[in-house]
Amino acid sequence: MTSPDNLPEVPDAKVPDEAQAPEPVEAPVVRRGMFGVHDSGDTSGFGGLVVRRQPRLSTPRPYGGYFDEIVDALGMDDAIERVVVDRGELTLHVKRERLVEVCQKLRDDPELRFELSLGVSGVHYPHLEGEELHSLIHLCSMTHNRRVRVETSCPDADPHIPSTVGVYPTHDWHEREAYDFFGIVYDGHPALTRIMMPDDWDGHPQRKDYPLGGIPVEYRGATIPSPDHRRSYS
C-alpha cells in the first residue's frame, strides 16, 4: 500500500474564472396555490408544488458546432451579457439598450444573414429580481441554415425594451402580443396596443402573478366592432 508520503505530485487544479463559476442552486420553493390563489379557487392543479430552481446557465467556450462561428462573426462581446448552449440551441443574452444593434448585424452581416424571424415571445420570472420580464426572438438564417435565440430582459419596475419592428417588420403583432399578455413595453413600436384582450382590460393574463382561478369572469359586455369602426393606425 502506498503511503501518503510517496504519492506522486499532482498539479494544482485550474480554478475556473469567476465569471464562469456555476451559480448555487436556490433552495426549493414550496408553493401552495399557484398564481396568487390561496383558497379553494386554485384550478391550476399545483397545490403544494415544490419548485427546485436550477442555476442560471452560462456556457464557456468552445460552444461547439457553428455556434462559435456565429459569436465570432457577431463580434459584439460588449453587448452580450452571457451565452447559453442548452439542448442544442444557442441563446445570446443581449443588453436591452443594444438589442436593435445586435439584431441589425445578425440580419445584415454576410457571415450571419439571419434574415428570417420566427417570432417574439415573452416570459415572466417573478423570482429574478431586476430582470423579471424577458423577451425572446427566434431567428433563422435561410442562407446558412442556422438558428439562434436572442434574449433580453427588463425589470418589472421599468418594463421597457426597444422595439425591433424596424429590423424585422413581422415583429409588429408579436410585440403587441407580448405587451398584451406580459406588459412588456416595446419602445418605438408603431402602434403598441392590445391585440387579444379588450383595450380596457386590467392586467396581463400570462404573467405568473395573474390569478388563474377563483376570480369573477371579467370579460363581459364586450362586443366586436364592424370593420369600418375598428381602430386605424394610419
Among the ranges given (89-103, 144-158, 193-207, 208-222), the one the predictor scored with the smallest mean pLDDT:
208-222
Whether residue 189 is contained in a domain is answered as yes
Question: For position 160, what pLDDT does the model report?
Answer: 98
On the question of pLDDT at 64 being above 80, the answer is yes
Q: What is the pLDDT averaged over residues 7-30?
A: 49
Whether residue 25 is contained in a domain is answered as no
Whether residue 63 is contained in a domain is answered as yes
Cβ contact 166:187 at 8 Å: no
Among the ranges given (131-145, 202-216, 220-234), the one the predictor scored with the smallest mean pLDDT:
220-234
The contacts found for 59-66 with CB under 8 angstroms, 24 or more apart, are 59/83, 59/84, 59/85, 59/86, 60/16, 60/20, 63/90, 66/144, 66/146
Cβ contact 117:179 at 8 Å: no
Whether residue 190 is contained in a domain is answered as yes
Name the pLDDT band for 57 (thresholds 50, 70, 90).
Answer: confident
Whether residue 24 is contained in a domain is answered as no
Question: For position 26, what pLDDT does the model report?
Answer: 61
The total number of structural domains that make up the chain: 1
Q: How far is CA 13 from CA 5, 20, 149, in A?
A: 20, 15, 34
Cβ contact 118:148 at 8 Å: no
Cell readout for 227 is: 370593420
Whether residue 13 is contained in a domain is answered as no
Give the separation between CA 223 and CA 102, rounded to whole angstroms: 41
Question: For position 21, what pLDDT does the model report?
Answer: 46
CATH of the domain at 202: 3.30.460.80
Name the pLDDT band for 11 (thresholds 50, 70, 90).
Answer: very low
Question: For position 79, what pLDDT does the model report?
Answer: 97
Give the separation between CA 231 and CA 4, rounded to whole angstroms: 82
Question: For position 14, what pLDDT does the model report?
Answer: 42
Q: What is the pLDDT averaged over residues 199-220?
A: 74
Whether residue 159 is contained in a domain is answered as yes
- The predicted model scores a pTM of 0.73
Whether residue 48 is contained in a domain is answered as no
Q: What is the pLDDT of residues 69-104, one digit of tens each?
A: 999 999 999 999 999 999 899 999 999 999 999 999
Q: Containing domain of residue 66, as a range?
A: 55-208
